[in-house]
């Protein structure tokens, strides 16, 4: 007799079922491993652990606005009204009002929608209202939120709140901010809920985001650097959270640390490269120009703050002491330069128009014409030559020549300015450019943008009508 050694071959369905089962097991194992790593990390770095980086920092802390430039406040001597004044100054350094104010009639009451790739996050009320704000929060609750990204009820906070940077701020400075917030008028207002799709509405998943994107711990001064450098690093890396706008994101929407300060897009606006690279960054700016830009929003011949940066200047950096702004500049000078591929600085493009006005005389315009639209809508303030009006005075209409928005490698910021205008109020000037979004169509805005970049800036930088339509929808 012949023994039958053949085997029954598994069906395709059985093979697929086996593969699915193995995949689920592998996925669960991976999730468990990540969770175990987090537990181990939390044991070493959690709230009960005491680190050397929690020691007071005196040489790297922002001064109270009323202090002399050479004075350094010590937490032990800051009390009462001085503590509140210090907290107000630090809250301005952190630009808290920008995100936590949707309606200027309700400052700090939240309600501002922040669009993310995962949905919309709405900022909370941080006035001392006991029901809808943080009136019932303890100091420990506030410290844990700022340092660990955990709310009063133990819920994980989303990183639209920049706790990844605020974790570097000392306990003393956080409590000073808390003291200031306690003095605000309580506003009874419950902002709308977040609008996040599953699974991003599951806050516990932030455990895994934190594993890859968050290192809890206070700022540690570098003994090899000057007090000025450490002061700037403390502000930039902590309260000022400059990286949140000027550093690109990884696939989890955490900061891409290999490209720090190299520029990123926020709500349609390009937050430019601020590394010391001479072509792509601000390496060709003088220290005085950088200080002027942060203090007033204008550096003639370089740039004029618009969009979110105009808000930063108006709400935050204009109130910083000259010493603190200078320290920020010192620190930014030291970060690694990153070249984005630009052939020349964005503020070194352009020349005055010569005969565009005369060329239009007697000409019948039958289509959308950028030169005609520019002369009709923009030339009154910026001059038909593009050289501006008022030279470099505080209230001058800026030149479009040697202008960062016009000479940038993409024209989005220029189109956004035309669409949404500029509003920037500082101690030096009240700057207002009207928004043309309601008067001009998408093809007209594109035509003006492309005329301006070709005539006064980077001729390779253009926008399409479709791009303008998308920018129009940005908040």
Last residue of a domain, one of 173, 190, 223: 223
The answer to whether position 312 is within a domain reads no
- Residue 380: burial class (beta carbons within 10 Å; 0-12, 13-18, 19+): exposed
Total-model pTM: 0.81
The answer to whether position 76 is within a domain reads yes
pLDDT at 131: 96
pLDDT at 223: 97
Contacts 24+ apart (CB under 8 A), 421-424: 422/304, 422/306, 422/307, 422/310, 423/310, 424/297, 424/305, 424/306, 424/310, 424/313, 424/314
The answer to whether position 139 is within a domain reads yes
- H/E stretch holding 303 reads strand 303-304
Last residue of a domain, one of 173, 194, 223: 223
Please give the torsion angle defined by the CA atoms of residues 283, 286, 290 and 295, in that order, rounded to the nearest 10 degrees.
Answer: 180
- Residue 321: burial class (beta carbons within 10 Å; 0-12, 13-18, 19+): buried
Structure token pair of residue 61:
């802390």
pLDDT at 23: 53
- In the three-class reduction of DSSP (H, G, I as helix; E, B as strand; rest coil), residue 359 is classed as helix
The answer to whether position 423 is within a domain reads yes
pLDDT at 153: 93
pLDDT tens for residues 291-301?
Answer: 999 999 999 99
Q: Please tell me the total count of domains within the chain.
A: 2
DSSP 259: G
pLDDT tens for residues 325-359?
Answer: 999 999 999 999 999 999 999 999 999 998 887 77
Last residue of a domain, one of 180, 195, 223: 223
The answer to whether position 251 is within a domain reads no
Q: What is the largest CA-CA distance in the chain?
A: 109
Dist CA 421 CA 435 (whole Å): 4
The answer to whether position 259 is within a domain reads no
Structure token pair of residue 114:
């922040």
Range of the domain at 430: 356-472
pLDDT at 20: 55
The answer to whether position 324 is within a domain reads no
The answer to whether position 199 is within a domain reads yes
Give pLDDT < 70 ranges for the chain. 1-79, 391-392, 394, 475
CATH code where residue 393 lies:
1.10.760.10
């Amino acid at each position: 007799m012949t023994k039958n050694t053949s085997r029954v071959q598994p069906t395709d369905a059985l093979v697929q079922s086996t593969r699915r089962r193995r995949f689920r097991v592998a996925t669960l194992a991976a999730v468990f491993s990540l969770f175990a790593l987090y537990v181990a990390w939390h044991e070493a770095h959690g709230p009960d652990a005491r680190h050397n980086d929690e020691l007071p920092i005196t040489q790297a802390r922002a001064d109270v606005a009323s202090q002399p430039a050479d004075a350094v406040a010590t937490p032990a001597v800051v009390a009462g009204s001085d503590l509140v004044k210090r907290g107000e100054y630090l809250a301005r350094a952190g630009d808290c009002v920008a995100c936590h104010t949707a309606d200027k009639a309700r400052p700090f009451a939240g309600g501002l929608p922040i669009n993310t790739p995962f949905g919309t996050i709405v900022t909370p009320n941080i006035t001392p209202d006991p029901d809808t704000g943080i009136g019932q929060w303890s100091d420990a609750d506030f410290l844990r939120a700022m340092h660990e990204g955990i709310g009063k009820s133990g819920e994980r906070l989303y990183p639209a709140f920049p706790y990844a940077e605020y974790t570097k701020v000392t306990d003393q400075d956080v409590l000073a901010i808390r003291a200031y917030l306690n003095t605000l008028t309580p506003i009874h207002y419950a902002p709308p809920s977040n609008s996040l799709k599953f699974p991003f509405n599951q806050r516990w998943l932030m455990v895994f985001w934190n594993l890859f994107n968050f290192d809890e711990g206070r700022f540690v001064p570098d003994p090899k650097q000057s007090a000025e450098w450490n002061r700037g690093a403390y502000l930039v890396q902590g309260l000022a959270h400059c990286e949140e706008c000027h550093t690109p994101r990884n696939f989890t929407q955490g900061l891409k640390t290999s490209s720090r300060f190299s520029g990123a897009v926020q709500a349609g606006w390009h937050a430019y490269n601020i590394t010391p690279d001479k072509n792509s960054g601000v390496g060709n700016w003088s220290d005085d120009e950088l200080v002027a830009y942060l203090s007033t929003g204008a550096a003639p011949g370089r740039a004029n703050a618009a969009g979110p940066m105009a808000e930063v200047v108006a709400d935050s950096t204009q109130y910083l002491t000259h010493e603190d702004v200078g320290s920020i500049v010192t620190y930014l000078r030291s970060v690694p330069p990153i070249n984005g591929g630009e052939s020349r600085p964005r503020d070194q493009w352009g020349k005055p128009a010569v005969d565009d006005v005369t060329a239009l005389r007697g000409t019948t315009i039958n289509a959308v014409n950028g030169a005609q639209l520019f002369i009709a809508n923009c030339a009154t303030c910026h001059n038909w030559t593009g050289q501006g009006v008022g030279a470099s005075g505080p209230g001058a209409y800026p030149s479009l020549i040697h202008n960062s928005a016009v000479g940038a490698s993409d024209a989005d910021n220029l189109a956004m300015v035309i669409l949404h205008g500029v509003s920037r109020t500082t101690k030096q000037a009240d700057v207002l450019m009207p928004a043309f979004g309601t008067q001009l169509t998408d093809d007209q805005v594109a035509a003006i943008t492309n005329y301006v970049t070709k005539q006064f800036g980077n001729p390779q930088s253009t926008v399409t009508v479709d791009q303008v339509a998308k920018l129009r929808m940005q908040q």
